[in-house]
Amino acid sequence: MENLSAAELLQASKAEILQIWEAQVRDKIPAALTESYASLRNSIPEFLDDLVMALKLGMKEVRPEIIRFAHHHGAERANESNFSIEDSLAEYNILRKVIFIVLERKSTLSALERDIIYEGVNIGLAKAGAEFVKQQFEKQKKIESRLRESEVRFRELANALPQIVWTATPDFYVDWYNDWWYTYLALPRGTSWDEPETSPMHPEDVEKTWIRIRESVSTGKNFEMEQRFRRGSDGKYRWHLVRGRPIRDDQGRIIKWVGANTDIHDLKEIQKILEEETHLRDRFVSTLTHDLRTPLTAAKMSAEMIKRRHPEGPAQSNSVRIIENLNRANSMIENLLDASKIRAGKPMSVDAQEINLYEIVSRTLEDLSTIHGDRFKLISPPEVFTYLSPNGVRRVLENLCNNAIKYGAPSEPVTIKIEAEEKQIGLCVHNKGSPLLETDKSKLFDFFQQGQSTEISGKGWGIGLTVVKAITEAHHGEVNIHSSQDGTTFTIKFPVDFRNLTIRENRQSNSENRAQP
């Protein structure tokens, strides 16, 4: 190609220059990696054509075309790519180097030819850069204008709300409150809060607030705390829940905080009253059950003495019935005590030990049979060793069996089945009868809930199944219910040994067992 002019050489090498240039731009400018083939090359091929014409006719003739191209290229880079101004300038420097490397590998350029290429690339670099800056400036002005419009709309909306709303700078200096803040404080807009006598915040909350503010600013996490502010109408301090959320830009930097204050004083007063009432109720239940147990114990002892003195005749049967009813009353008292603890959010305690579950269930069913007759059928291997609370198991079984008698078919037996698995023990109580209503199933374990059957409505307190669920969960177990036309089955899944078993592990075990065919 020694006989070709620089213009002809550039024209012949155009495809090669573009290929090498594109590869180097994608390698050295990260923003170029996301650009398509067409958008990256943009007007560069036309620019090379202009350089060819400049080498033929001189730069003066082609300068307007190069300027026009550069403005167009700079505008598109600013508006339709992720290029920065530095990226836009870098691509021209890469283009210049590639042009000289390719051409001078094939021929020797004259000083004039080199100057024309230099000048053409420099014009493109300067004009494209200037247009890029101009477009970015215009874009920024539009963004700022939209932000101002958005802020105006935000403030108009915030001022219309009967709720205290505020904004703050990135360092959490509150720079604006809506009208409701000044209405609440009965102070004019523009009042300074820097002086102790004008600050509406309770003095005891100031230092705690600054600690929380510094924490939110340093971590970028949401601001949330309860504070007291002085209400202007009566001068009384009232509790507010104050929440602030950071607003971030595209780079994740906090540019503003937006928040609101919600008056929760009345709610806190109500909560205080409820807590006092709960405390009084718990004391009442505790005192009541204690006082009830004393005469119950005395009555049971007397009935036992009558039973021993009169082994036959009406006195024997009457004393047995008295003891049965006293035991039933004692069980109701236990449920009431536990229900009170559960409602207070206290966990159930269990006195676990190694037991033969079959023996515990057999003895409990014998006691229940003295009340309900020969209604119970037990299906179980004779030895099912596990680590559970014997009293907890007894109370679970008593409540489920009483529930089955109460709601099941009166002439059908109640079947109790023990299923021993590798990691779990299943205790199932099944009664025949009408299936549970969906409305009943959804609230079955709630406090003071009973089924809708008119025959049994009003019998009991409706806390037995609540206690069943609490005792089961205290063992890290779970309760399942299945109800159909064949009857209703409550299945309790106990871990074989719950002492070192977490709830998560047990639930995973439950899921694995249910998945097995």
d(CA 249, CA 264): 32
Domain boundaries, the chain: 6-143, 161-263, 270-343, 353-515
Quick one: CATH architecture of 353-515?
2-Layer Sandwich (3.30)
Q: Distances from the Cα of 415 to the Cαs of 158, 324, 428, 489, 490, in angstroms?
A: 64, 22, 8, 9, 11
Q: What is the CATH number of domain 161-263?
A: 3.30.450.20
CB neighbour burial string for 15-48, b if at least 16 within 10 angstroms, e if fewer: eebbebbbebbeeebebbeebeeeebebbbebbb
Q: What is the pTM of this model?
A: 0.43
Q: What is the pLDDT of residue 244?
A: 95
Q: Crossing angle for the helix pair 357-372 and 314-343, nearest 10 degrees?
A: 120
Does the domain made of 270-343 have the CATH classification 3.40.50.300?
no
d(CA 391, CA 239): 46
What are the strands of the beta sheet with 376-379, ordered from one edge?
376-379, 414-420, 424-431, 487-495, 478-484
Spell out the residues 6+ positions from residue 498 whose beta carbon is closer than 8 angstroms to its own.
352, 387, 388, 475, 476, 477, 506
CATH domain 6-143 topology: Globin-like (1.10.490)
d(CA 389, CA 262): 47
293: helix, strand or coil: helix
Q: What is the pLDDT of residue 502?
A: 44
Q: What is the pLDDT of residue 285?
A: 61
| Token output for 237 | 């301090």
Q: Crossing angle for the helix pair 314-343 and 464-474, nearest 10 degrees?
A: 70
d(CA 48, CA 123): 13
What's 197's DSSP letter? T
Q: What is the pLDDT of residue 343?
A: 62
* Identity of residue 456: I
Q: What are the mean pLDDT values of the chain's consecutive 10-residue runs (517 residues total)?
A: 81 94 94 90 90 91 88 86 89 93 91 92 89 85 77 79 90 92 88 74 93 94 95 93 92 92 91 76 61 66 76 76 70 66 65 90 88 89 90 88 88 92 91 81 61 44 74 88 90 84 46 44
Return the H-helix or E-strand segment holding 481: strand 478-484
